[in-house]
Amino acid sequence: MFIIKALVEKVIELKNHIFILKIFSPEIASIINPGEFLNVKVSDSNYPLLRRPFSICDAEGDFIFLMFNIFGEGTKILAHKHKGDLIDILGPLGKGFNLLGDFDTAILVAGGLGVAPFPYFIRKIGKSKEIHSFIGGKTDKDIITYGMKNITISTDDGSLGIRGNVVELLEQNVENLKSKRIKIFGCGPNAMLRELRELSIKHNLNCEVSTECAMACGFGICQGCPIESVNHPDKYLLVCKDGPVFNMRDIVI
Amino acid sequence: MKKADLSVQVGPLKFRNPVLLASGTVGYGSEMSEFIDLNLIGGIVTKSLSLKPRKGNPPQRIVETPAGMLNAIGLQNVGVEEFIKEKIPFLKKFDVPLICNIAASTYEEYVECTKILTQEDAITAFEINVSCPNVKEGGLQFGNDVKAVGKITAGVKAVTNKPVIMKLSPNVSYISLFAKVVKEEGGDAVSAINTLVGTAFNIITRKPKIYNVNGGLSGPAIKPIALAKVLEIRQSVDIPIIGIGGIMNWQDVIEFIIAGSSAIQLGTVNFIDPAAATTIIKGLEDFCMKQGIEKISELTGSFII
Ligand SMILES: Cc1cc2nc3c(=O)[nH]c(=O)nc-3n(C[C@H](O)[C@H](O)[C@H](O)COP(=O)(O)OP(=O)(O)OC[C@H]3O[C@@H](n4cnc5c(N)ncnc54)[C@H](O)[C@@H]3O)c2cc1C
Ligand SMILES: Cc1cc2nc3c(=O)[nH]c(=O)nc-3n(C[C@H](O)[C@H](O)[C@H](O)COP(=O)(O)O)c2cc1C
Ligand code: FES
C-alpha cells in the first residue's frame, strides 16, 4: 500500500460526463491487479473530507487510469483536474478478480459505469482466455465501450442494442456460451448484481462480482463497509478488505 | 539545539509524546502499521470491545457531512476472547502503550470485561466507553447518566490495578459534572469527546442516509465543540484530560493542549491520512523548538482568558 501524491497526466471526457483520469504512478501501476481499487483525496481541503474509492480501470507502463462519472462534489472536482496537478492516492486496495482458474472464456457483465474495472482485466488476461462483454445502460448515452472487447449491448429504452437489461441480454446468450468453460465477472448496481446472482444459480455458473459500499478509510480500520456473508451470518465481511470483488457464493447482496 | 521534550504524563500514565490513536479509527493496529511506525506514537486505543463479538449495524454505516462524517458502526468487534488470542500477540510486538477500550451493555459486562483483560500484561490501561451513540441498549444512556458513569468508574477500578480513563459523551449539558464523578470514584483520567449525535436524510427517498437513523458526528466539524468541552472540564475539575475531536494537524493539537489536554487522540484523520500521526509529531517538535518550549507538557491548560 502506498500513499502517493501523483501527477495528473490528463483528463479525457469519453462522453456525457464520463471521464478517464490518467495518472503517473509507476509504483502502483507495477503492482496493481484488476478489480483492486484506489482511494483518492480529490482536494487538499476538508471539503470533501473523505477519500473517494475508484476501481483501477487500466494500467499501462508508468500510468494508471481511472474511469468515473460526475456523481457529486468529489467527482466534479476530479473532472476539473489538469496535467501537472498533484493528486493524493492511496492504494492498491482490496482484493481483485481471480483471473486464474478453471475457465477458458470470461463473460464480462457491466451495468453502466460497471465497465470501469474491465479494460485492465482484458489487458491482463491477454490472449490466454476468450472474452465476451455484455454491456447495459439506461440509454445509449450510458453505454461505454472504452477498452472493452467482443461487445454485445442492451439499453432499457432500446436506443442501442437490444431493449432490456444486461442480465436479460446475457440470459438470451447463455445457452450458446455454456458449450465453453465459462466464468462470469460482473460489476454494476446492486439490482443488476442481484439478477446476476439468480442467473448464475439457475445455470450453475461460477460468478465473481465487484461490489460497492460507502467507505471512510478503504483499508479496513473504520468498519464502515459491511457486506453480509453466506458462510458466517454472525459476522459481516468488509467490502474494502475482503472485497470489493467477491465470489457470488460468498455474499448476500 | 536540544530537541524539545514531547513526553507527557496523564495521571499515572507516561507517553513518549501526546499523540494517541483513537478507538475505532485504528482497528487493532495491523493495518495502520503499514503506514506508520507504531513504535513512534504516544499510544494506541483499540476498537471498543464487548464481552462477546458484536456483528454491528447493517449498512449504510457511513455518510459524509460538511467537514465531517456520521458513523453508525454499532460497535462491531471481535469480543474479548478473540482479542486476547488474535489481536494482542500482534500488538505486543511494538513498544507502544496499549489502551484497551471497553464498551458494554450493562454494568456487569463492563466489570467482567475489565476483570478478564486486566490479566493481560500487554495492556497498559483501560479506556471505558460510556458514550457510544450507536448502540441501542447501554452506550449513550450510560453516558447521559452521572450516577451510572460514577458506578461504572468505581466498578471497573475495583477489579483492575491498571489506570482507567473514562471516555465522556459530549451529548450532555454539562460534561464537567461527569468528569467530577469520575474523579470522585477514582478514575485516573477522562477522554473527551466521543462523537456527537447527528443524522442526514436523502431528499428523494426521504429516508435517513444511515440505516441506524442516527450516527456519531466526527471530524473537523466538531473541533470547536470538543475544545469547549475540554476547557469546561479543565476549568472545573482537577483531572487529567485526553482531548479528542476533529484534530487534523499539529496546530489543532497545540490548541487542544492549551485548552487543557495532557494528551490527544487522532480519529477521523487516520482514515484520510493514515500517516498523519507521524507528520503531526514532527510538527509538534518543530513548533516547540521554534517557540523555545522545552517541554510540551508546559503548555497544558496554558490558555489566557
Ligand atoms: C470499491 C469501489 C470502486 C468504485 N469504482 C468506481 C469507478 O471506477 N468509477 C466511478 O465513477 N465510481 C466508482 N465508485 C463509486 C465512487 O466512489 C463514487 O461515485 C464517488 O464516491 C462519488 O463521490 P462524489 O464526491 O462525486 O459524490 P458525493 O455524493 O458527493 O459523495 C459520495 C459519498 O457517498 C458515499 N457513498 C454512499 N453510498 C455509496 C456507494 N454505494 N458507493 C460509493 N460511495 C457511496 C461515499 O462514501 C462518499 O462519501 C466506486 C466505489 C467503490 C466502493
Ligand atoms: C468510524 C468510527 C468508529 C468509532 N468507534 C469508536 C469506538 O468503538 N469506541 C469509542 O470509544 N469511540 C469510537 N469512535 C469515536 C472516536 O474515537 C473519537 O472519539 C471521535 O471520532 C472524535 O474524534 P475525531 O473527530 O478526531 O474523529 C469512533 C469514531 C469513528 C469515526
Ligand atoms: S472502508 Fe473502512 S473498513 Fe472498509
Partners of B57 on chain A (C-beta within 8 Å) are: 226
Partners of B274 on chain A (C-beta within 8 Å) are: 3, 90, 217, 219, 221
pLDDT at A101: 86
Contact B131, B197 (CB under 8 A): no
SS3 annotation, A29-94: HCCCCCCCEEEEECCCCCCCCCCEEEECCEEECCEEEEEEECCCHHHHHHHCCCCCCEEEEEEEEC
Give the model confidence (pLDDT) of B146-174 as tens digits. 999 999 999 999 999 999 999 999 999 99
**Best of A16, A20, A47, A54 to mutate for ligand 1, by most ligand atoms within 8 A of CB?**
A54
Higher pLDDT, B132 or A47: A47
Give the model confidence (pLDDT) of B174-208 as tens digits. 999 999 999 999 999 999 999 999 999 999 999 99
Domains in chain A, CATH or no CATH each: 2-93 (2.40.30.10), 99-196 (3.40.50.80), 211-253 (2.10.240.10)
pLDDT at A13: 96
Candidates B33, B60, B64, B70: best to mutate against A (most CBs of A within 10 A) is: B64
Band of residue B55 on the pLDDT scale cut at 50, 70, 90 = very high
Interface contact flag, A214 B274, Cβ < 8 Å: no
Give the model confidence (pLDDT) of A20-30 as tens digits. 999 999 999 99
In CATH, B8-56+75-197+219-299 is 1.10.260.40: no
Interface contact flag, A3 B58, Cβ < 8 Å: no
- The two beta strands, A86-93 and A2-15, are antiparallel
pLDDT at B93: 96
Asked if pLDDT for residue A243 goes beyond 60, the answer is yes
Interface contact flag, A3 B274, Cβ < 8 Å: yes
Query: In ligand 1, which atom is closest to the CA atom of A240?
Result: 1
Q: Is the CB of A55 under 6 A from ligand 1?
A: yes
Nearest residue, CB atoms, B55 vs list A41, A221, A235: A235
pLDDT at A178: 87
Asked if pLDDT for residue A162 goes beyond 80, the answer is yes
Give the CA-trace dihedral at A117, A121, A123, A127, to 10 degrees: -150
| Mean pLDDT, rounded, for B123-134 | 86
ipTM of the complex: 0.95
Residue at grid coordinates 500521526: B277
Q: Is the CB of A143 under 6 A from ligand 3?
A: no
Give the model confidence (pLDDT) of A169-188 as tens digits. 999 999 899 889 999 999 99
Phi, psi of A154 (to 5 degrees): -135, 150
Asked if pLDDT for residue A151 goes beyond 60, the answer is yes
Q: Is the CB of A9 under 6 A from ligand 1?
A: no
Band of residue B1 on the pLDDT scale cut at 50, 70, 90 = low
- Average per-residue pLDDT in chain A? 96
pLDDT at B135: 56
pLDDT at B134: 57
Quote the strand ranges of B18-124, DSSP E.
Answer: 19-21, 43-45, 62-65, 68-71, 98-102
Report the sign of the C-alpha dihedral through residues A30, A35, A39, A40, in that order: positive
Q: Is any Cβ of chain A less than 8 angstroms from the Cβ of B61?
A: yes
Q: Cβ atoms within 10 A of the Cβ of A160, count?
A: 17
Higher pLDDT, B135 or A185: A185
Asked if pLDDT for residue B137 goes beyond 70, the answer is no
Please give the residue of chain B at the shortest CA–CA distance from A222.
Answer: B25
**Amino acid, single-letter form, for residue B92:** K
pLDDT at B132: 66
pLDDT at A16: 85
pLDDT at B140: 58
pLDDT at A17: 92
- Separation CA B87–CA B47 (nearest Å): 11
pLDDT at A218: 98
Q: What are the boundaries of each domain within chain B?
A: 8-56+75-197+219-299
Give the model confidence (pLDDT) of A31-63 as tens digits. 999 999 999 999 999 999 999 999 999 999 999
